[in-house]
Amino acid sequence: MDYSAEERFRALMRKIDYLNNISQTLSWDMRVMMPKDAAEYRGAEMGFLAGQIHTLETSPEMEALLQELESTQPEDFVLRAMIRKARFTHDKLSKVPEALYAAYADHNLKTEHIWAEARAKNDYSMVLPFLKQEFTFKKELISCAGFADDPLTGLMDEWEAGTTRQQIDGLYEELKAFLVPFVQRLRVEPQPDPAPLRGCFPKEKQKAFCREVLQAVGYNFDRGRVDEGAHPYTTFNFRKDIRFTCRYFEDDFTRATLSCLHEGGHAIHWQNMGAELDGTTLAVSTSLSVDESQSRFQENILGRSLAFWEHFLPVARKYFPALEGVSPEAFYRALNALHVSPVRLTADELTYNLHIILRYELEKALLDGSLSFEELPAAWNKKSMEYLGVCPANDAEGVLQDMHWFSGYICYFQSYVLGNCYDGHFLHAMQKDVPDMFEQVRRGDFSRILGWNVSHIHRFASTKTPRQVLWDAAGEELSAKRYLQYLTDKYSEIYRLS
């Protein structure tokens, strides 16, 4: 039986999608379930899968099908998006030798596994040679793609196409010009009482509370699961199988709650991608910045709001009797108080951005050779003092705190700040369409908020570009303006600034 070019193309893309999903599942298993001694063989398995995917995406068959389909200009919107994505991937990966691609995948998994052990032992030297090789691999890969003279831009382009060094430099200067003096001003103001957050919160009760919160905001446990892991992380398989990890701290239940909201935001985004995109390779976020906007919207815009805790603090009291007598307003102010910490994941909304700028400046120095990997821990501590006024107690709390560089997510961190900026726009647009959104949150009703995000963002996945998603949802170009106004309004109220 003869099949049309479209049918053969769709079958090929489905095969690639299956292999990508298998790789994601193995990655989740490695982080959550895999025995320690299986790491080397799992790395070889992941390298093999990466090589198979590379072969299919760069094959003569793919090129022939693309040429035939591109000449027909199909009317189907999804098919056009599939062709556009396959062409981009084919042309980019065709420049990368398959052996290099597979070797990097193998090394990448081993590095992450060693990082987890190094952080547990507070021993940067264990992972130092692997981190060096991680950066070397990434520079080689991005050089193949035509970014030999500007690897920083090339690596950022992987996470959001079109992002450049000049754009991020300008954005960070704008943020620093606002954040540094604003944080300094807040530091000398009377601080909210931290007592409402203190207590003993058993892990199993935290898990039960977080599950109730996640179900309320829209996470579907029939399509996902939550496990413990060394670092909070979401595994993107396909919309009916989205998994994430969380860490629990028995002296502060809000850390796990906000972490679950963050990772749950990723997961909800992926669970609500259009069913018509299954098996097309398009059921992925349009960019990691938009993806981060959805996680940070749940964590910060909703999860750190007064309305959220007016609803959920009474729920939390069922699990944690020590919260009896704590008012929602006192809890809200304590939760949002300036918390200058050497650890990114415990930072407040304001200083979080300074954590990202710190990492970006270190990445630039590592990539241009002005900073050696041996000097990295000391440079990290110095910048922490410069921007945050606090020094990590050790490398586990400093250079080893994040998995990103050790998992291939080099030059990824700006995605969090860009996500914050997207959220400024999305919040402004949502409040026009759902003016009583926070009153609904106060009642524990997240249906219209979820519906807005699904109809404007989630369902399109990667069929639109990031800036198309923003323009269609909010009618604006990306900037820091809306986000900075959100921070100004929120913290001026919390600190009762005149």
Active site residues per annotation: 263
Sequence-distant (≥ 6) Cβ neighbours of residue 8 within 8 angstroms: 61, 65
H-helix or E-strand spanning residue 155? helix 151-159
Sequence-distant (≥ 6) Cβ neighbours of residue 129 within 8 angstroms: none
H-helix or E-strand spanning residue 295? helix 288-296
Give the integer Cα–Cα distance in Å for 439 and 98: 54
Sequence-distant (≥ 6) Cβ neighbours of residue 17 within 8 angstroms: 238, 278, 279, 280, 281, 283
Three-state SS at 238: strand
Q: How far apart are the first and last CA of the chain?
A: 76
Strand partners, 236: 242
Give the integer Cα–Cα distance in Å for 207 and 250: 11
Place of tokens 């998992």: 407
- DSSP 8-state code for residue 94: T
Give the integer Cα–Cα distance in Å for 166 and 171: 9
Q: Could you tell me if 287 and 466 are in contact, meaning their C-beta atoms sit under 8 angstroms apart?
A: yes
The dihedral sign for the CA sequence 75, 76, 82, 85: positive
Residue count (the chain): 498
Sequence-distant (≥ 6) Cβ neighbours of residue 377 within 8 angstroms: 124, 395, 398, 399
Three-state SS at 398: coil
In 199-254 the beta strands, taken as DSSP E runs, fall at: 224-228, 233-238, 241-246
- DSSP 8-state code for residue 251: T
Q: How far is CA 398 from CA 128, 390, 391, 394, 456, in A?
A: 14, 11, 8, 6, 38
Which phi and psi angles does 246 have, rounded to 5°?
Answer: -145, 155
Give the integer Cα–Cα distance in Å for 90 and 149: 22
151-159 and 349-368 helices, crossing angle to 10°: 140
Three-state SS at 222: coil
